Amino acid sequence: MGDNILNSTLIFFVNGKKIVEQHPNPELTLLTYLREKLHLCGTKLGCAEGGCGACTVMVSRVDRTTQKLHHLAVNACLAPLCSMHGLAVTTVEGIGSTRTKLHPVQERIAKAHGSQCGFCTPGIVMSMYATLRSIPKPTMADLETTFQGNLCRCTGYRPIIEGFRTFTVDGCSMGENCCKVNGNGICKEEDTLFEPNEFMPYDPSQEPIFPPELKCSDALDRQFLAFQGDRVSWYRPTSLNELLNIKKKFPDSKIVVGNTEVGVEVKFRNCLFPVLISTAQIPELNEITETTKGVKIGASVSLADMEEKLRRLIEDRPETETSRCFSKSHAKITNIDASEALALPGVVAFYSSKDISSDRNSVGAVFHDEELFISDIVTSQGQTIGVVVADNQSLAQRAAKLVKVTYDDINPVIVTLEDAIKHQSYYPGYPKVIRKGDPEGALKNADHIVEGEVRMGGQEHFYLETQASIAIPRDNDELELFCSSQHPTEIQKLVSHTLNIPASKIAVRVKRMGGGFGGKESRGSLTALPVAFASYKLGRPVRCMLDRDEDMKMTGTRHPFYFKYQAGCTKEGQITAIMVSIYNNAGYSMDLSFSIVERAMYHILNAYYVPNALVQGWVCKTNLPSNTAFRGFGGPQGMFVGEHIIRDIARTVNRDYVEIAELNMMQTGLRTHYNQVVELCQVGRCWKELLESSDFNRRRDNVQKFNAQNRWRKRGISVVSVQFGISFTTAFLNQSGALVHIYTDGSVLLSHGGTEMGQGLHTKMIQVAATTLGIPFDRIHVSETSTDKVPNTSATAASAGSDLNGMAILNACNILNERIAPYKKAFPEDGWNKWISRAYFDRVSLSATGFYATPHLGYDFASNSGRPFNYFTFGAGCSEVEIDCLTGDHQVIRTDIVMDLGSSINPAIDIGQIEGAFMQGYGLFTLEEMVYGADGTLLSRGPGAYKLPGFADIPGEFNVSLLSGAPNPKAVYSSKAVGEPPLFSAASVFFAIKEAIADARRHENLSPDFPLISPATSARIRMACQDRFTKKFSKPVPGSFKPWNDVPCQLHQSSIWSKIVDLEESSECTEYVETPIFLAVVTPITS
């Protein structure tokens, strides 16, 4: 080894503390070590492939050549623990906390409302922090680069950018006169939802120092490292000769630099590389040298270093020199053999359908048409065949892979909605029918009839925190569960059913979720039930959290939909009748699909009136994971058809679609096609205000001028309306409860049936209680949602969380006010604390329960009568886009949204919800495509293949306003629901893209009437434009090929999962008598 001494001790620093790890395990990632060994749980696991940024930490090192410090944002989920030797790691805990002092980065993202569920926040904070440590005065361009590796599913990104914009030198229009330039890094001039002048100044000189031991000596850099694990060895040579000697000794060894390839292969392809060699300290492989023939780049040079070097070279060269270059699903189980898995030391148990009675094995959200453990017939990928329980996570995963499952294939395999229709594969009881008037007769007498088809793909929820559960057995058959679930009562009921114990002995607790969006309404049972079963059997705590790819394969998506429609109209364009057939792809079980198709039926015409209608809905049974609730719950899919009909009619009668929309727009007093009277209709006001505030007419003229002057770049601008019904369409779910305790010190503990997933529900509920009781917000605390505090809760869904729980809290607080009223009247000068004290000594109860049931709800399909909704949320959205006709790429230039939210309880939260919903809808309509192979194998299992909107995708200009002067008498404090309705405003982007494509097609004398499937991906945009280039690709003859990207369906998918649940920083961590063991699940095998 030359002059160097072989070393087997890992030394590095974490948050300024020296870490000495004897004989580290080369298979561990930095993330695993931080969370499980150092208990620094702020760093999150979101995807395990470096695509979401939730695991970001800062890694600092000294450049021994220049003696300068380099601060790098690193994905801890990929970074090998052994690669940290001689480096300094900083986690989010290391820069500040609420218990000590927040760092300005943390403060600004919080006060700018840039955190909702919060799961992505630590990673975003650390990305920003690493940038500030390298560039104390960044530009906006620097911020764009900073967040290229971070994803957020909640906020829509704008508040994050706005908050961090205050750090930049160009964050103010004042230029050199900006007060930031003059010292404190704060701009006072901007009109925002936060007060920038309240921010702590950022002072780079006050940052923690780099560990002197690392800065003053390069001894650790010069050490030859050799770490030996149970299965893998790690070597870090420091010279080229040492590297060649090791490769000669271990010719099959794998070289590791950033671990972006090896890490993914180990994690997702189950590869094992017994010898790993790090080349981080070999000079020849880390050099960038410029020669007369070009630039030589060492194989170990990081992309960041290469980019910086090339940037400097570009800056040093003339522009003319630099610019030359352009750079099996349906099968019968025949045997399950877990003997190899059980033989591994540390494996505790394997459970399958043999360990539970058939009646207890039958589970499901509404209908028990699923199995906890598949007993005989596999009908989709991702179904659970059995569970392996082991002492640690990696062992559980290894053991699960050793379980041998054999199958016999069964046909047919139904993949697409077309397959389901062909085989009449429908669930019983369908079609559902809504009939109003005489649609057949009205169509026959119509002046014009338009007809068409609409197809929408599914959408992955991609909550940053995947499905997670932990179960703890208690005395006397009691069981406590901590779940990331929107519906703790459902988990309680299913666990009670599976274990055959009373629900009163099962407590399900939800502290918070890292996002939900409907995906955790019913599918949380996929982790909760196996965990509860294993824990109950073993009498030990058991926990599990799905990895990202497992979550995507198992939990289902938004429903793919297929619509066929006819609409009749007058010569002027007034709609006289519609007939629509709706098909949704439910997957292998019913789950909530029946309610989802019903909501699509209700919303089929969006905000437009029709006197005659026939709407039929089918729920299709296919061999794919059971699809489930997703923000909008079928509503956006139905509304999408309504907007297509409006535009089809406009083309037919040769009028502007804006005029046709206004001609048919819903008004107060009119009845929907399901015969509900629309009250206090504000859609017309929203529409008018939007057209004015967005300067729609002038901008549309500018779009036409732009298109006339450009052949290969086209713009489009479009506006859509929004009318979304608020309530669960299943009437009994529209109820809620609350429990309010006032303690003798005057503080208040508030419990209610809603769960917090980042939508700000707890904050709003505190506001309701504080306003009703007349006390400051900070006197009220919400600890968690728990079935032993408020029983029989409904899911936090349908945008009804604030309405239902707010009214229950209002009821409870009014009861308490009545009890305290005598003391307020007798002693008006005492104040809250003394009133409470007097009531206590007079033995007055200071605890109250509240209850609320939404009145006058219910609908009957047979008679087409009733009120499925309590009220409607209205709105309108306008977007302008530019497309590249040659690549299909697009950019949203500007978006304007006006929403009617009544008297908003919290405008900052509501605007955040609007922006987040829009960006999620933008993904639905343009970017997020579930990609499947020819046999139905899911290929888009993570952020590498499944593209979510990122920071760079937000509209260049994004304006959101709330309609004023429109209080809602049917909800708490005159407010309105906000979670789901704004999502459809993103359809304005889709239709703007379609207008841009239509203009491109005119150059080829092609019809502007053409089909465009949602999502409008780059490939679909490109091929829809059609030109001399696309004509070179002839359209294949139908039936001559097998589609490679059909509606979702998986065949023989293999997945083994096991992960610790993220307990955040809650106190339940201290309650464990023993360390929970891990659970891994065996699912069908895939190719």
Quick one: three-class SS letters along 997-1063?
A: HHHHHHCCCCCCCCCCCECCCHHHHHHHHCCCCHHHCCCCCCCCCCCCCCCCCCCCCCCEECCCCCC
Same domain, 1018 and 873: yes
State percent of the chain over pLDDT 90.
77
Round to whole Å and give the CA distance between 134 and 302: 16
Domain for residue 4, yes or no? Answer: no
Domain end residue (candidates: 826, 857, 888): 857
Residue 938, number of CB atoms within 10 A of its CB: 27
Residue 236 lies in a domain: no
Whether residue 695 lies inside any domain: the answer is: yes
SS3 letters across 683-745: HHHHHHHHHHHCCHHHHHHHHHHHHHHCCCEEEEEEEEEEEEEECCCCHHHCEEEEEEEECCC
Strand order from edge to edge, sheet including 890-900: 713-726, 871-884, 890-900, 957-962
| Confidence check: pLDDT of 973 > 60 | yes
Check whether 1067 has a pLDDT greater than 60: no
> Domain check: are 795 and 840 in the same one?
yes
pLDDT greater than 80 at residue 329: no
599 found inside a domain: yes
In the predicted model, what is the mean pLDDT of residues 221-237?
92
What's the CA gap between 522 and 365, in Å, rounded? 6
Same structural domain for residues 1008 and 1073? no
* 66 shares its domain with 82: yes
Query: Exposed, middle or buried, 325 (CB in 10 Å: 0-12/13-18/19+)?
Result: exposed
Query: Which percentage of the chain shows pLDDT scores above 70?
Result: 91
SS3 call for 281? coil
The rounded distance, in Å, linking the Cα atoms of 116 and 767 is 17
Contact 112, 160 (CB under 8 A): yes
Picking from 82, 405, 406, the residue whose alpha carbon sits closest to that of residue 227 is 82
CA atoms of 397 and 1055, how far apart (whole Å): 10
At 2 the pLDDT is 41
107 is catalytic: no
Quick one: 35 and 148 in the same domain?
yes
CA distance 699 to 658: 14
Residue 222 lies in a domain: no
Quick one: 593 and 646 in the same domain?
A: yes
Say if residue 149 is in the same domain as residue 160: yes
Q: Which of 371, 756, 980, 995 is catalytic?
A: 980
Known binding site: residues?
47, 52, 55, 77, 117, 120, 152, 154, 255-262, 486, 517, 521, 599, 631, 633, 729, 798
The verdict on 380 and 484 lying in the same domain is yes
User: In this structure, is the dihedral angle defined by the CA atoms of residues 453, 882, 704 and 723, taken in order, positive or negative?
Assistant: positive
CB-CB contact of 486 with 524 (8 Å): yes
Which amino acid, residue 692?
E
Q: Measured between alpha carbons, how far is 680 from 341 in angstroms, rounded to an integer?
A: 63
The pLDDT of residue 1086: 41
Q: What is the pLDDT of residue 178?
A: 57
Residues 686 and 831 in one domain: no
> Nearest-CA neighbor of 895 among 171, 191, 170, 157?
157
- Residue 17 DSSP SS3: strand
Lowest mean pLDDT among 716-730, 929-943, 1019-1033: 929-943
Binding site members for Mo-molybdopterin: 486, 517, 631, 798
What per-residue confidence (pLDDT) applies to 1045? 54
Q: Which two tokens stand for residue 819?
A: 């009890």
Which stretch of 324-328, 602-606, 754-758, 982-986 has the lowest confidence by average pLDDT? Answer: 324-328
Residues 803 and 913 in one domain: no
Q: What is the pLDDT of residue 316?
A: 57
Residue the block writes with tokens 């979720």: 513
Q: For residues 991 and 897, state if they share a domain.
A: yes
Q: Is 944 helix (H, G, I), strand (E, B) or coil?
A: coil
Domain boundary (194, 215, 236) is at 215
Domain count within the chain: 6
Kindly state the tokens that stand for 811. 């009821």
Residue 153 lies in a domain: yes
Residue 994 near residue 1012, CB atoms below 8 Å? yes
155 inside domain: yes
Is 306's pLDDT higher than 80? no
Distance CA 422, CA 607 (A): 33
CATH code at position 204: 1.10.150.120
Residue 511 has pLDDT above 70, yes or no: yes
Q: Which residue has the higher pLDDT, 67 or 919?
A: 919
Give the model's pLDDT for residue 1084: 55
Closest C-alpha among 7, 143, 151, 138 to residue 82 = 7
Asked if residue 559 and residue 475 are part of one domain, the reply reads no
Mean pLDDT of 340-364: 96
Binding-site members for substrate are 521, 599, 633, 729
pLDDT in the model for residue 260: 83
Token pair for residue 363? 């589970």
For the cut 50, the answer to whether the pLDDT of residue 274 exceeds it is yes
pLDDT higher than 90, residue 1036: no
Helix/strand/coil (H/E/C) assignment for every residue in 341-406: HHHCCCEEEEEEHHHCCHHHHEECCCCCCEECCCCCEECCCCCCCEEEEECCHHHHHHHHHCCEEE
Structure tokens at 300: 């170990």
Helix/strand/coil for 161: helix
Query: Looking at the domain assignment, is residue 970 inside a domain?
Result: yes
10 Å CB burial of residue 429 (0-12, 13-18, 19+) is exposed
Annotate 502-515 with three-state secondary structure: CHHHEEEEECCCCC
pLDDT computed for residue 816 by the predictor: 99
CATH number of the domain that residue 610 is part of: 3.30.365.10
- 857, 887, 907 — which closes off a domain? 857
pLDDT of 1054 over the 70 cut: no
Say if residue 321's pLDDT is above 50: no
What do you get for the CA distance between the two ends of the chain, in Å?
44
Query: What's the whole-number mean pLDDT along residues 885-900?
Result: 98
Q: Give pLDDT, residue 1072.
A: 29
- Give the residue numbers spanning the domain of 399: 333-407+467-545+1052-1082
Report the sign of the C-alpha dihedral through residues 38, 42, 46, 51, in that order: negative
Q: Say which amino acid occupies 766.
A: I
Q: Which residues pair with 68 in a beta bridge?
A: 63
SS (HEC) of 559-610: CCEEEEEEEEECCCCCEEEEEEEEEEEEECCCCCHHHHHHHHHHCCCCCECC
Q: What is the dihedral of CA 665, 669, 671, 676, to 10 degrees?
A: 120
What one-letter code names the amino acid at 453?
E
Compute CA distances 93 → 15, 100, 101, 923, whole Å: 8, 10, 11, 32
What are residue 452's DSSP bridge partners? 565
The two structure tokens encoding residue 793: 């809760």
Pairing verdict, β 748-752 and 6-7: unpaired
Helix (H, G, I), strand (E, B) or coil at 882: strand
Where b means 16+ CB within 10 Å and e means fewer, 645-674 reads bbbbbbebbeeebbebbebbbbeeeeebbb
H/E segment holding residue 658:
helix 657-664
Give the C-alpha separation, 677 to 667, whole Å. 10
Taking alpha carbons only, the member of 779, 770, 773, 775 closest to residue 821 is: 773
Number of helical (H) and strand (E) elements in the chain, helices listed first: 29, 41
Q: What is the pLDDT, as a whole number, of residue 173?
A: 35
In angstroms, the CA 883 to CA 997 distance is 8
Please tell me the predicted confidence (pLDDT) of residue 1041: 63
Question: Treating both helix axes as pointing N-terminal to C-terminal, what angle do 832-841 and 801-826 enclose, rounded to 10 degrees?
Answer: 80
CA distance 1035 to 1033: 6
Q: How many residues can be counted in the chain?
A: 1087
Q: Please compute the mean of the pLDDT values over residues 827-836 and round it to a whole number.
A: 97
Cα separation, 979 vs 965, whole angstroms: 21
- Those residues whose C-beta lies under 8 Å from the C-beta of residue 63, and which sit 6 or more positions away, are 69, 70
The pLDDT tens digits of the residues spanning 366-380 come to: 999 999 999 999 988
Looking at per-residue pLDDT, the higher value among 313 and 11 belongs to: 11
- Could you give the CA distance from residue 199 to residue 202 in angstroms, rounded to a whole number? 9
